[in-house]
Amino acid sequence: MPVLGLGVWKTPSGRATLDSVDAALRAGYRLVDTAALYGNEADVGQALRKSGIPRDELFVTTKLWNDDQGYERALAAFRKSQAALGVGVVDLYLIHWPVDQRLESWRALRKLQRDGACRSIGVSNFMIPHLEELLQAGDVVPSVNQVEFNPFLFQRELLEYCRKHRIQLEAYAPLTRGRRLDDPVLRDIAETHHKTPAQVVLRWALQHDVVIIPKSVRTERIRENAQLFDFQLRESEMEALDRLNENLRTAWDPSNVP
Ligand code: NDP
């Protein structure tokens, strides 16, 4: 999968989603991360189709919302998302949160993958015990686990666990939703490289082999967030950024979900 994607949570349906996906594709992004919950799957699909970029160069992720968990409901929810997107096979379908009936939902996702309706299946917000449960329940390992991840929420143990089990970690809120971009350590490192703090936190995730899906509705920031491949953080800088961890969560914490 591409290592950089555009997130569209809170991007309003309609013009804003159409324009931000269009800006991202022009800036070189090939992955778009949406979800049934976001209410903009149809706009994402429309923007992808309109781009003229061959379908096999694009990668679209969507997610199963909590109210639709369970075997039959998950199958029906997927069909709805797939129809809204209108781009044929879905590249990656994720269980959005590890709530009740997740194992039943996972059975549905496995069927969808077997049937060729989605290329890859995975999970989101799964902590190590949720992943253990899933691995024990079946023979299919999720391709991806999408979790909140940035230097201020450096989930090292989870990263290592996923690496060991060949599950690709994907970072949401990679920019801390803008809440820590004024950190002095981060600012210093950014100045050294003539880069912005946003570019440094994104680069940090890439150097940890984590896929990133920053969200923006502004063309100039969408471009900024993609200019990550012309510099490299030194080991000492990576370590300094690792040390910024303060278990900051901007989203609901799934650690205590049984
Ligand atoms: P991000 O960390 O991507 O931050 C987005 C915020 O940062 C927006 O307010 C944006 O404002 C601002 N921003 C974007 N670029 C810059 C920049 N270069 N400098 C300063 N500020 C900037 O948070 P998200 O929560 O949106 O996470 C990214 C994506 O991850 C989501 O859009 C969604 O696709 C996914 N996600 C998945 C979840 C899950 O449960 N699986 C939960 C949450 C998110 P503006 O738009 O005005 O530029």
Across 74-102, average pLDDT: 97
In terms of pTM, does the model score above 0.75? yes
pLDDT score recorded for residue 257: 87
Share of the chain above pLDDT 70, in %: 100
Query: pLDDT tens digits for 177-226?
Result: 999 999 999 999 999 999 999 999 999 999 999 999 999 999 999 999 99
Instruction: Give the span between the Cα atoms of 114 and 172, in whole angstroms.
Output: 27
Q: Please state, as a whole number, how many other Cβ atoms lie within 10 Å of the Cβ of residue 94.
A: 26
Apex 210 CA angle, 106 and 87, nearest 5: 55
- What's the pLDDT tens digit per position in 137-155? 887 999 999 999 999 999 9
Report the DSSP pairing between strands 144-148 and 31-33: unpaired
In this prediction, residue 43 carries a pLDDT of 98
- Amino acid 138: pLDDT: 80
- Residue 106 carries which side chain, given as an amino acid letter? W
Which residues make Cβ contacts (< 8 Å) with residue 121, sequence separation at least 6? 92, 93, 94, 106, 109, 110, 112, 113, 140, 142, 143
Q: What is the mean pLDDT of residues 114-125?
A: 98
Q: Which of 29, 38, 93, 172 is catalytic?
A: 38
For position 82, what pLDDT does the model report?
Answer: 98
Pocket lining: 202 vs ligand 1, CB cutoff 6 Å = no
| CA 216 to ligand 1 center in whole angstroms | 6
User: 121-142: per-residue pLDDT in tens?
Assistant: 999 999 999 999 999 988 799 9
- Residue with CA nearest ligand 1 atom 21: 178
pLDDT band at 57 (very low <50, low <70, confident <90, very high): very high
For ligand 1, whether the C-beta of 221 sits within 6 Å is yes
Ordered structural domains, the chain, with CATH: 5-178+205-226 (3.20.20.100)
Q: Count of CB atoms within 10 A of residue 183's CB?
A: 20
Among 245, 176, 183, 236, which residue's Cα sits nearest to residue 207? 236
- Asked if residue 256 has pLDDT above 90, the reply is no
Q: Is 161 an active-site residue?
A: no
* Nearest alpha carbon, ligand 1 atom 11: 216
pLDDT digits (tens, 9 = 90+) for 2-11: 999 999 999 9
Q: What is the mean pLDDT of the chain?
A: 97
